[in-house]
Amino acid sequence: MKPGQYFVLNFDFSIITTDENLTEANEALIRTLNSSIETFYATYAAYLGENFADLRQKIDSKDPNTNLERCVNSVRRAIENDERLAGIEGIYMLVDEYDAFSNGYLEQFMTGGHKTAWEGTGVVQAFKSFWNTIKSCTARGIRRIFVTGISPLSVSFLGSAFNVTRNLSFDRDLAGLCGLTRSDLTDALKGICTVKEIDYDFQHKSYLESMTMLFNGYHFCMDESVETVFNTETCLFYLQRRLEGKEAQFRQIPDPPNSEVPEPFLRLFAASASAIRDFEEALKHDRKGKYMALKYDQFNPELTLPDLVC
């Protein structure tokens, strides 16, 4: 390893199976968390001074919080005792689709107004305590945490124990992270278009124009204008169609399934008094009949369940 690097610990909440039985849902959550820690050990056992079998044996099948703490402590001891790891800063944690699991139960949250059907259940306690454990470990070995998801709801509600986040969704430095740039597509087209220069020039321009019209325009910076990006999934689908020679079908491209906001959330949001007010504002016209500009700076970037019913 080189100085300035990290051990990478990845948790993917999108792979957790949702189930109406909350006891089984809790078990699925715990299995997934433990599996991620096991994968971490399989990747870095050689650096931790132990073999994978011994590290795996220490994983408590019912307590992912203790497992995470042990994992962090193992990394800290390894860095302190192994000169080869002198430049390693600690653990970089990646949490993918943090809201995918809990969004599957949004409708169960809303029972009796602001109360939640989940409150006090094992699955909620496991979810909250795990985020709390992550927070406590930031002082002992987890140096960076990068969390991605679709909606800003869960991290401000179920994950409230982890209240040290900073929303970077519209940060200029990350504006190109959620899509492809024009230069990305230009490089890809070099491998797709015909090797003949005259055909390449024509096809490159034709393909790029089509993708610009259909898939470009995503802007992820709130403070200033930056280069817009192309939707990654739809571009890849389009290019695959071109490679297969299915020219007539290239416009029949479905919306990317992984970018959709969960339907339960949309139903709750659409019925919210605050959301209805925003919708009404969006339909207003000025004296010339043009739509009134929305005051985006007044929108709340984070939501809680009470926000949806107030």
Query: 204-229: per-residue pLDDT in tens?
Result: 778 888 888 888 888 888 778 888 89
223-246 confidence digits (pLDDT tens)? 788 888 998 888 888 888 777 776
**Integer CA distances (angstroms), 245 to 26, 126, 210, 239, 250, in order:** 47, 50, 16, 10, 9
- Give 199 or 296, the one with higher predicted confidence: 296
Tell me: pLDDT of 196 over 50. no
Per-residue confidence (pLDDT) for residue 310, from 0 to 100: 54
Distance CA 129, CA 210 (A): 48
Cβ contacts of 68-72, under 8 Å, gap ≥ 24: 68/33, 68/37, 68/130, 68/133, 68/134, 68/137, 69/133, 69/136, 69/137, 71/9, 71/37, 71/40, 71/41, 72/137, 72/140, 72/141, 72/142
Share of the chain above pLDDT 70, in %: 77
Tell me: pLDDT of 248 over 60. no
Tell me: pLDDT of 152 over 70. no
Per-residue confidence (pLDDT) for residue 160, from 0 to 100: 60
Per-residue confidence (pLDDT) for residue 259, from 0 to 100: 58
Strands 142-147 and 6-12 come out as unpaired
Write down the mean pLDDT value for the chain: 81
Alpha helical stretches, state H, the chain = 22-44, 52-57, 64-81, 100-103, 106-109, 122-137, 182-192, 197-215, 232-243, 263-270, 273-282, 305-309
